[in-house]
Amino acid sequence: MSERSFIEARSIDYVPLKERHGKVWHLWPVWFTGDAHLATIATGAVGIALGGNLAWTVIAVLLGSALGTFFMAFHSTQGPQLGLPQMIQSRPQFGYVGALLVWGVALVTYIGFNAFNQLLAADTLTTLYDADSHVTMPIIGIIAALLAVVGYDWIHLIQRILAFILIVGLAVMTFAVASSAHFEPAQLDLGGFKAVPFLVQLFAAASYQIAWSIYVSDYSRYLPKDVGVAASFWWTYLGAYIGGSWTMLVGTVAAAMFPALKLTPALKAAADQLLPGAGTPLLICSLLGLVTITTLNFYGASLTLLSVADSFKPIKATVTKRVATIALSLVVSVGLALTASKDFVHAFDEFLAILLYLFTPWTAINLVDFYWVRRGHYSVREIFNPNGLYGRWNWRGLVAYAVGFLSMVPFFSTASYVGPVAKMLGGADIAMLVGLPVSTIVYVLACRSMDLEDEFRKAALADEGLDPA
């Protein structure tokens, strides 16, 4: 632990109550800073890029962020209760081995986001200093990976410091927009509603926030168990929603002011026009946030890779294993970034849509299991038992995931595939609104055959002495 060592010692293993520390309000700067960076700005530019106007894109950003953050923040409350990282908590719903399904999705998310992050970071440094992207991408990756190595406490500390810097930067930009920006009347016309750009932007914002669901318990699991569900929910929600929607709107405004420019030049041009000389500091602030979210991705990828390895053969968590998995994540993400397409905004839009499809069933199943089916009654020891209480494969979670995912397919709308229902709706994508209730209903019905009282009794017996006085 950080209180005994500079480098965090724990990874996927349980955090004992005697090692718990921190304050629940520390969650808001983690998620405010986690959202206040260039990738979030890019998310806010999606609707404008598809032909939407400023007024309706702003509304879509605010509503989409509110929806996605709602589910994400509920996952945050699981960390203090279980003392475990987020993804290892999927074993009771999917089984000891069956959880590999969602862990594979999580790995794609971590590595994919980091490849995009490094592209954005390189593009920023090229815009500012004409730097060589083939040099800057690995450097950004290495800095972020080193912070992931030192771990939890240092990540929290850096996020708190950056939160106050980024608030100042966003406040200055907001004041400049409010006092100086001028837009064409069509950009502000509420009569100029276009369904496809609006819905794509709304669900891009929602999926961006929902994608945080696989991270949140990683950064709340060291908190004392008695911090309270409401407190951990609201500190997470406020940090992520304000940071996410506020930062996305910076991208929305920049794209509306300079629709012909790429993202980072548009952002710099917009800031400089509104407040001369502000473009460079704003990009540097956004770059700092981008580095630390890259850290969070490396940290999460490491925990997920260790969970995958543990599913094949139980492992003992060590610092060496954690460092090795971070290094592997670094190599893969830098490699992808160096070979990625330059058509960033459209590729990012497609990536967010796919993430939304993949995470919608999981977030429904994980939350309904924690809050409705098992009501927080789990055995930490049995989660790490390959032949234990939760089985190797849990058909209930797997079936609910499959049915929920398949129910969304007709509603998919991406550049690669548009489902039949989405075509009838003019290309509008409402798949998330279908997948959430379908996955929830199927899982709840499947769990009706469980003897929960017997399971709770066995779980309590298995965890006797887990935290000796």
Residue 2: the pLDDT is 39
Q: Does 349 or 64 have the greater pLDDT score?
A: 64
Domain 17-341 is of which CATH architecture? Answer: Orthogonal Bundle (1.10)
Residue 393: the pLDDT is 95
Q: What is the domain partition of the chain in residue ranges? A: 17-341
Residues 6+ apart with CB under 8 A from 78: 86, 89, 216, 217, 220, 370
Residue 1: the pLDDT is 41
Distance CA 65, CA 182 (A): 25
% of the chain beyond a pLDDT of 70: 97
Residue 229, token pair as written in the block:
């569900």
Question: How far lies 8's CA from each of 13, 25, 213, 290, 299, in Å?
Answer: 12, 21, 22, 22, 11
pTM, to two decimals: 0.89
pLDDT-derived band at 20 (thresholds 50, 70, 90) equals very high
- Tell whether the model's pLDDT for residue 35 goes beyond 50: yes
- Tell whether the model's pLDDT for residue 4 goes beyond 60: no
Helix axes 100-129, 395-408, angle to 10 degrees: 50
- β-bridge partners, 413: 418
Residue 276: the pLDDT is 84
Distance CA 300, CA 103 (A): 11
pLDDT-derived band at 368 (thresholds 50, 70, 90) equals very high
Residue 410, token pair as written in the block:
């007709």
pLDDT-derived band at 286 (thresholds 50, 70, 90) equals confident
Q: Lowest mean pLDDT: which of 35-39, 137-141, 341-345, 366-370?
A: 341-345
pLDDT-derived band at 130 (thresholds 50, 70, 90) equals confident
Q: 315-332: per-residue pLDDT in tens?
A: 888 899 999 999 999 999
Range picked from 146-160, 203-217, 268-282 for highest mean pLDDT: 146-160
Distance CA 190, CA 90 (A): 43
